[in-house]
Structure 1
Amino acid sequence: MMSFEQYNDIQPHIVKMLKNSYKKNRLSHAYLFEGEKGTQKKAIAIEFAKMMYCKDNAKPCDDCLNCSRIMHQNHPNVIVISPDGNTIKKEQILFLQEEYTKTTLEKGPKVYIIEHIDRMSVNAINSLLKFIEEPKQDTYIILITETIHRILPTITSRCQVLSFKTVPRKRMIQYLTEHGTTEEIATIVSTMTNDINVAFDISDDKDLLNIIDLVIEIEEALIKKNTEPLLLLDRQKFYASKNKKLVEWFLDLLLEYNRDIQKVMLGKQSITFQSQKELIRLASTTYNQDKIIQNINSILNAKIKLNYNANLSLLLDQLMITLKT
C-alpha cells in the first residue's frame, strides 16, 4: 500500500485539491471519483478517510491505530460498499442510511465510500439520491466509477466530480525503476497494467521472469523455425496448474512482442523487448504485414477465449499451431 504522499506522484491534482480543501475546511459533502481502472480511486478514497483521523492529519502516518483500522476496513465510522454480485442493491444503500442515522460510540466524521456506482439497481439509485440530498455535518460520501457516462445527471450534479488521469507509461517506468526494478522489466510490466500497485506486484512475482523467457524462446522458435514451439510450451507446463493469471501474462507478453515486430516493420525505433532488438529485426524481414496482423489477431482471440474459461492447454496448443502456420 502506497502512502498519501506517494499517491501525490500518481494523481497530483487530486491529492493537492483534497489536502488543500481539508486544511481550509472546504471539503464537499459528496465526491464522485471517476477514471479508468487502475487510477487509484479507491486507494485515495481510503487515504481521504485516514486524513480525517490520523494525528498527522493531512499527511496520514499509516502507523497509528486509526490509520490501521481504516486501512483494514474495520473502523466504525468509515464504511466501504462494493457490488453484491453484479450490482449494488437497494438493501446495501438502506444499510448505509441506517448507519448514517446511528450515533456512534467514537467521535469523528463519518466517511462512506461506494465502489462501482454505475452498477446500482434503480431502487438503490433512488435511495442514494435521498442520502446525498440531505447531508449531515461531518459526513462525507465518495462515489467511485470507471464509467461516468453511465451515471445519472441527478447524481453527478450533487457531487464534486474529480477526474483521475491514467498514469503515463513513462512515469510508471520511472516509478518502478526508482523503487528497484530494472528498466527492461519496468518497461515490460508497464504494458501489462496501468495500476501502479499491480505493477509492483507483477514486477516482484517470481514467475514473471520465467514467462518472459518462455515468450522469447517461443518467438525465436517461430522466427528461426529451429525448435517446435509446442515442445517449449509443454516443457514449461505453467498451464498444468490451471493458473489463469500466468496464461494471461503469457498472452499479454506474446502480444507485446508481436507488436514490437509490427513497430519495427513500420520503421519505429521504440520497442518493449529492448534486449531482443536483433531477433525482432529478423522477424520484421521474415514476416509480412499480413502474417503479423494474423498473429496479433490470433493472440487477441485467445485472450477473449481465456475470459470464457476455455481449456488452458487446448487454448495454448491451438494458438501455437496458428502462429506456426
Structure 2
Amino acid sequence: MEHDIVNVAQTKQPTIFAQFMNLVKNNELSHAYLFTGEDGAGQFSVAMGVAMRLFCTNVQNGVPCGKCSECVRIMNYDHPDVVITKPDGQSIKVDQIRHVKSEFTKSAMEGSKKVFIISEAEKMTTGAANSLLKFIEEPTGNVVSFLISKNRNLVLPTIISRTQVVEFPSLSKKLMVAELQSSGVKPSEVNLMISITNSLDQIKAWSKDDWFASTQKLLEKWFTYLVKGNAMAMPFIQMSLMPLITNKDRQRIVISMMLSLFDDVLETKYGTLSSDRVKYPGILAETKQAAVEWNNDQILAMLDELLDMNGSMAVNVNFQNIIEALTLKILAIGQS
C-alpha cells in the first residue's frame, strides 16, 4: 500500500481527484460510483482520498492532511466507518457482501458518514452482485460507495446502471516509467513492458519473474540470427525458446514482444526511434543493421507475417509450428 495516498491520487489523476475534493466540499457526492480503468491508474487511491477528506480533522487547502488520527486510521484500514472489501481468493463472495450489507444497516459509529470501497468489483459472483443491488438502489443514511474495476464489461449491467461511472485514463508514459523504475523495474525492460500493456500491476509482476527477462534475451538472440540470415534461428526455437513458452498467455506475450522488436526496426528505418523509446537496447546495433539491410517493403512484410500469427493461434495450430513457419518466412523475406 502506498504510504501517501493523497500524493499518489494527485499525481496519477489530478483532475479527477480535484473534482472529487470539490464534490465533498460542496456536499454533492452521489451515493455510488464505479471507478474503471487499468490497474495502477489511481482508482483505489482516489477512493481512499475521498474517504480521508470526509473524515479528516485538519483539511489543508481542500485536501486531507494525511496525518491526523482519522486519516491514519483510514490508511491503516482501521476506521470503523470506512469498510474495504477485496476478493477472497478468486472472487468476492456472497458472505463478504453480507458483511457489507450489515454495515450498511448500522449507523455510523463515529460520525454521520460511512464509506464502502469494493476493490476488483468485477470479481463479485453473480449472487454477490445481486445481493448488493438493493443497497445501491436504496442507500440508507449518509453512505457513499466506491466500486473499483479494471474491466467494466465484467460488471453486471444492473450494477453499472445504478452507479455513476468514472473512467480513469491510463497514466502517461512518463508517469508509468517513473513509478516502475521507483519500484525496481530494470530500465532495460521498462519500454518493452509498456509497449505490451498499460497495467502497472502486470508489469510489476513480470519484473519479479525471471521469465520475462529471460524471454527478452532469447528473442534478442533469435533476432540476431534473423538479421544475419542464419538458419540456426530454427533449432534455436525448439532448443531454447519453446521451453519457456508453456501456456497460451505466454504465447500471446511472446507475439507482442516480437511485434515490439520489429517496431524498433521500423522506427529506426524512419528515424523516429529516440533513445527513450528503444524497447530492445541490448541489440541496438543489430536493430540498426536490420534497418539498413532491409527495405521498407521487407520490414512491413515481416510485420504482416507476425500479425498473421494471431489468426493461426485462433485455429489452434501448434505454437512451435507457428514460430518456425514465421522464422522461415522472415529469413526468406530478408534474403529476397
Q: With the length of structure 2 as denominator, give the TM-score of the two structures.
A: 0.68
Alignment partner of 2:83 out of 53, 59, 78: 78
Q: CA RMSD in A?
A: 4.5
Unaligned runs of 5+ in 2: 329-336
Q: Kindly state the Cα deviation for residue 214 of structure 1 after the two structures are TM-superposed.
A: 1.5
What do residues 60-116 of structure 1 show as CA deviations (whole Å, max 9, x unaligned)? Answer: 46994542236xxx9784132559968x77776555323322468x53543323456
Instruction: Verify: 1:39 aligned to 2:41, yes or no.
Output: yes
Question: Is the Cα–Cα contact under 8 Å of residues 30 and 140 in structure 1 kept in the other structure?
Answer: yes
- CA distance, structure 2, for counterparts of residue 84 and residue 296 of structure 1: 36
Q: Kindly state the Cα deviation for residue 138 of structure 1 after the two structures are TM-superposed.
A: 3.9
Amino acid at match of 2:75: C
Indicate the residue corresponding to 1:269 in structure 2. Answer: 272
CA, structure 1 residues 40+284, in 2 after alignment: closer, same or farther (shift >3 Å)? farther
Indicate the residue corresponding to 1:295 in structure 2. Answer: 306
Indicate the residue corresponding to 2:21 in structure 1. Answer: 19
Amino acid at match of 1:9: T
What do residues 239-290 of structure 1 show as CA deviations (whole Å, max 9, x unaligned)? Answer: 469587766654432221123334556x362364363241441464393533
Structure 2 counterpart SS, 1:33: strand
Instruction: Verify: 1:164 aligned to 2:172, yes or no.
Output: no
- CA distance, structure 1, for counterparts of residue 179 and residue 207 of structure 2: 12
Amino acid at match of 2:76: S
- CA distance, structure 2, for counterparts of residue 60 and residue 26 of structure 1: 22
CA, structure 1 residues 115+22, in 2 after alignment: closer, same or farther (shift >3 Å)? same
CA, structure 1 residues 153+179, in 2 after alignment: closer, same or farther (shift >3 Å)? closer
- CA distance, structure 1, for counterparts of residue 93 and residue 209 of structure 2: 36
Structure 1 counterpart SS, 2:262: helix
Indicate the residue corresponding to 1:9 in structure 2. Answer: 11
CA, structure 1 residues 10+239, in 2 after alignment: closer, same or farther (shift >3 Å)? farther
Unaligned runs of 5+ in 1: none
Question: Is the Cα–Cα contact under 8 Å of residues 117 and 144 in structure 1 kept in the other structure?
Answer: yes
CA, structure 1 residues 48+250, in 2 after alignment: closer, same or farther (shift >3 Å)? farther
Q: With the length of structure 1 as denominator, give the TM-score of the two structures.
A: 0.70
**Alignment length, in residue pairs?**
311
Indicate the residue corresponding to 1:67 in structure 2. Answer: 75
- CA distance, structure 2, for counterparts of residue 323 and residue 56 of structure 1: 63
- CA distance, structure 1, for counterparts of residue 87 and residue 186 of structure 2: 36
- CA distance, structure 2, for counterparts of residue 76 and residue 191 of structure 1: 41
- CA distance, structure 2, for counterparts of residue 156 and residue 250 of structure 1: 35
What do residues 150-198 of structure 1 show as CA deviations (whole Å, max 9, x unaligned)? Answer: 8788755654432211223344235545777665533222113212344
Q: Percent identity?
A: 24
Structure 2 counterpart SS, 1:31: strand
Alignment partner of 1:173 out of 164, 177, 195: 177
CA, structure 1 residues 291+126, in 2 after alignment: closer, same or farther (shift >3 Å)? closer
Amino acid at match of 1:29: H
- CA distance, structure 2, for counterparts of residue 32 and residue 237 of structure 1: 42
Higher mean alpha-carbon deviation, 231-240 vs 155-164, is at: 231-240
Amino acid at match of 2:10: N
